[in-house]
Structure 1
Amino acid sequence: MSDQIQVSKTVDAKPDEMFAILSTPQRHQEFDGANMLRGVEGSGNQVNGTGDVFIMNMENDALGPYQMKNTVTAFEQNRKIGWAPSIHPIDGYTDKLGDVKATGHTYTWELEPAGSGTKVTQTYDWSGVKDESFRGFFPMVSEDQLTASIDKVANAAK
């Protein structure tokens, strides 16, 4: 089995319009295909480059409410953006996760002009997960959920 899911789709939205949404953490809840995001913590400033960090409030059946710290791992204006989530704080959920280190996965969006629209490729990659106990949780998001996220960003960009 592969350690990633990649979906591509051409949508009727411009790359710069989509990138504006993807690089604004306050708007991430609008395109959450998995329905786990509950909003951004604090100001959730605009992402301006690799190394930037934003914290998302999350919720799922296994953990209830929790937070993920997202570190930007890829940034090319209007073309590519990606982030690596990790549980926040890293040792804040030992009552539910034990010693599991919830790090090592990424979400990357690539935007390529295609006629009047954009070819969008979203890659959900967990090949960097080192903790074998955490690896058992993957994939947490399905191909259908990733495709839904692409559609939601495109619709929000119109």
Structure 2
Amino acid sequence: MSDQLQVTKTVDASPEQMFSLLSQPARHTEFDGAGMLRGVEPGSEKVTGTGDEFIMNMNQDALGDYQMKNTVVAYEENRKIGWAPSIHPIDGYTDKLGETQATGHTYTWELEPAGSGTKVTQTYDWSGVQDDNFRGFFPMLTEDQLSDSIDKVANAAK
């Protein structure tokens, strides 16, 4: 089994429109295909390059409310953006996770002009997960959820 899911589709929004939305963490709840995002912490308004960080408020059945710090690992304006989430704070949920290190996965969006729209490739990659306990949780999303996210970004970007 592969350590990633990848979905590619062409949508009716420009790369610039798509990138503008993807680079605004406060708007990520609009295209959350898994229904876990609850908002962004203040100070996370706009991504401007690799190394930028933003903290998302999250919720899911196993953990309840929690936070993920996302570090931007790919940034090419209007063409590519990606982030690597990690539980925040890194040792803040030992009561629920034990010593599990919830790091090593990425979400990357590639945007390519396609006529009047955009060919979008979203890659959800957990090949960098080192903790065997955490690796057992993957994939946490489905191809359908990734596809739904792409559609939601395109619709919100218009």
For 1:10, the aligned partner's letter is T
The whole-number CA distance in structure 2 between the counterparts of 1:72 and 1:47 is 8
Partner residue of 2:50?
50
Q: Which residue of 2 aligns with 1:18?
A: 18
What is the DSSP-based 3-state SS (H/G/I as helix, E as strand, rest coil) of the residue aligned with 1:144? helix
| Deviation at residue 45 of structure 1 after TM alignment | 2.3
Q: Supply the distance in 2 between the matched residues of 1:37 and 1:67 (Cα, whole angstroms).
A: 9
Residues 119-138 of structure 1 aligned to structure 2 (within 5 Å): 119-138=119-138
Aligned ranges 1:1-158 → 2 under 5 Å:
1-158=1-158
Percent identity over the alignment is 78
How many equivalent pairs are there?
Answer: 158
State the distance in 1 between where 2:126 and 2:55 align. 19
Paired with 2:67 and 2:124, the residues of 1 have a C-alpha distance of 19
Instruction: For structure 1, list consecutive stretches of 5 or more residues without a partner in the other structure.
Output: none
**Secondary structure of 2:146 counterpart:** helix
Q: TM-score, normalised by structure 1?
A: 0.99
Which structure 2 residue ranges, 5 or more long, are not aligned? Answer: none
C-alpha distance in structure 1 between counterparts of 2:64 and 2:142, whole Å: 20
Q: Which runs of 4+ in 1 moved over 6 A?
A: none
Counterpart secondary structure, 1:35:
coil
- Residue 42 of structure 1: CA displacement? 1.2
